[in-house]
Amino acid sequence: MPSREERASSLNAQQVALRDCTACSLSLKRTQVVFGVGDAAAEIMFVGEGPGFHEDKQGEPFVGQAGKLLSELLATIGLRREDVYIANVVKCRPPDNRDPLASEIEACSPNLLEQVRTIRPRVICTLGRFATRLIGETDAPISSVRGRAKSMEVAGVPVMVFPVFHPAAALYTPSNRALLEEDLRKLKLLLDRDRKALTSQEDEYVAEVAAVPDEHVAKAEITVASGTVGDDGRSGGERAEQLPLW
């Protein structure tokens, strides 16, 4: 496994190589490529849509109002921006903050996948529909998959993908902000579960996937249990937490 320094060096090389990218028309009006920021060996990556006005000017993702909200939300689960890695689906600002086009996402997505391959996060939290569609490989509406975890491979890396609303959708809509806060609490549960699974020698982890497929989403849940696992595969009941899957 590459060290944090090796991963940081690799990300730096990718960033330098992308500086003059003209692979799509977003290069025409950008101020600069907004590559990504954070810990090169982060356990968790946050992936948004694309740079906005402030990001384009400053060269860093999520520095505007939505970024401020993201930082506040991270703080509620004990994380700082420097503890995570933050990137976008497209690295250059779409003019007038329009949605990125499919051709632009196709042109830029290899860059995001290379970041994932380098950082090797355990969890990718997708912010909004574009990141969820690309990383989660789904056409399901964000409203039906938000706050649910999915185990999959992204760029050859085994990860849990966890979609939430984009913070911009919560800036002026208190109900969306409440949902984001609720989902971040679940995200912390997911991180704690994974961390414990990696470090614990004694606890048994029971993943129950009771799939009930509907049109878009397999409703399922994972039970994180500590203590002795009984004949029925359930724990002795010392601790059990529920996390929905999709």
The beta strands (E) that lie in the chain are given as 37-38, 44-48, 85-88, 123-127, 150-154, 157-164, 212-213, 218-226, 239-245
Minimum CB separation from ligand SF4 for residue 36, in Å? Answer: 11
Report how many residues bind ligand SF4 under the rule CB under 6 A: 15
| CA–CA dist 220, 160 (Å, integer) | 14
| CA–CA dist 90, 175 (Å, integer) | 28
Residue span binding ligand SF4 (CB under 6 A) among the ranges 67-75, 107-115, 127-135, 183-191 = 107-115
Q: Biggest alpha carbon distance in the chain? A: 63
| Cβ-based nearer residue to ligand SF4, 114 or 241 | 114
Residue span binding ligand SF4 (CB under 6 A) among the ranges 22-30, 67-75, 207-215, 222-230 = 22-30
Under rule CB under 6 A, residue 21 binds ligand SF4 = yes
Residue span binding ligand SF4 (CB under 6 A) among the ranges 14-22, 64-72, 75-83, 126-134 = 14-22
| Cβ-based nearer residue to ligand SF4, 18 or 206 | 18
Considering only residues 40, 44, 107, 180, which one is a binding residue for ligand SF4 as defined by CB under 6 A?
A: 107
Q: How far is CA 12 from CA 62, 115, 119, 154, in A?
A: 19, 10, 12, 21
| Cβ-based nearer residue to ligand SF4, 22 or 151 | 22
Minimum CB separation from ligand SF4 for residue 43, in Å? Answer: 26
| Cβ-based nearer residue to ligand SF4, 107 or 191 | 107
Q: Which of residues 32-61 bind ligand SF4 (CB under 6 A)?
A: 33
The 111-130 site mask, x for binding ligand SF4 (CB under 6 A), equals x-------------------
H helical segments located in 59-149: 65-76, 102-119, 129-136, 142-145
Place of tokens 């700082």: 80
Under rule CB under 6 A, residue 24 binds ligand SF4 = yes
CB distance 105 to 81 below 8 Å: no
Query: How many C-beta atoms lie closer than 10 Å to residue 185's C-beta?
Result: 13
Under rule CB under 6 A, residue 18 binds ligand SF4 = yes
Query: How many C-beta atoms lie closer than 10 Å to residue 139's C-beta?
Result: 9
CB distance 21 to 27 below 8 Å: yes
| Cβ-based nearer residue to ligand SF4, 44 or 105 | 105
Under rule CB under 6 A, residue 90 binds ligand SF4 = yes
Considering only residues 9, 14, 27, 144, which one is a binding residue for ligand SF4 as defined by CB under 6 A?
A: 27
Residue 140 CB contacts under 8 Å (≥ 6 apart), including other chains: 216, 217, 246
Give me the residues that bind ligand SF4 (CB under 6 A), please: 18, 21-24, 26-27, 33, 90-92, 104, 107-108, 111
